[in-house]
Structure 1
């Protein structure tokens, strides 16, 4: 199952990448004296486009076979086994999932509302002591 980004984030990153690509290409194609900044803008546009396509395909989180994976580009993907979680901390718009050896922060403001309720449902089903989870007294459908 995938926990998706908000559409606003995906569209914003795509528009930003097109803007950088347009500025970079315009500077390279139409100006006589090409500056290094135009190549920088073009490179930044390519990086943003790559990141946008990656986020569109893989989304924010994946949960399969009891393993939660935070998808990040360039191989910086983090994994955590849901059964190994010993504590869940909530601070404003952030969940911190803690195991004995690992810690993953999940930023909830960039998660689609439907996916966020699904994530809360999954986290509420974990067998944790009441003082180690914020989902103890809540019923999430």
Structure 2
């Protein structure tokens, strides 16, 4: 199951990438120097944001398959948890916190598309956890 990002989150990276790249091109065109490091830097930042948009569009936010919940992030290391190892699901500061003996996995529901959030809530509610260990079932 793929849990999708909101369109707002996706398009933010695209718009920022285009704006930064636009600043870089304008800076290069208006500056008379031979080497335009600042303009090249703006374009590089813009390209990174555009690549981030492409990556997020393709992979989305979460992937639930083969007994693992994996966060599809462009950078970072702690991005998965085994479903069988989850012993508690709680809500803290607006985030979902999935706890196992070895690690903690944080999900930001504000980044999730409405239909996907309903699917995620149903999936988490159906996990075999006591009601005092799963805030969605209480």
Q: How does the TM-score come out when normalised to structure 1?
A: 0.89
Shift of 1:30: 4.0
CA distance in 1, matches of 2:77, 2:21: 25
**Alignment check: 8 A CA contact 1:24 1:40 kept:** yes
Show structure 1 runs of 4+ deviating over 6 A. Answer: none
Matches within 5 A, 1:1-141: 1-33=1-33, 34-74=35-75, 76=77, 78-137=79-138
**Alignment check: 8 A CA contact 1:71 1:77 kept:** no
Shift of 1:83: 1.2
| 3-state SS of 2:58 partner | helix
| 3-state SS of 2:137 partner | coil
Deviates more, 1:115-124 or 1:88-97: 88-97
Unaligned 5+ segments in structure 1 are none
Shift of 1:42: 1.1
Unaligned 5+ segments in structure 2 are none
| 3-state SS of 1:101 partner | coil
Alpha-carbon displacement from aligned partner over 1:31-71 (angstroms, at most 9, x marks no partner): 21254332221111011111111100000000112210001
Q: How does the TM-score come out when normalised to structure 2?
A: 0.91
CA distance in 2, matches of 1:67, 1:46: 32
CA distance in 2, matches of 1:77, 1:113: 25
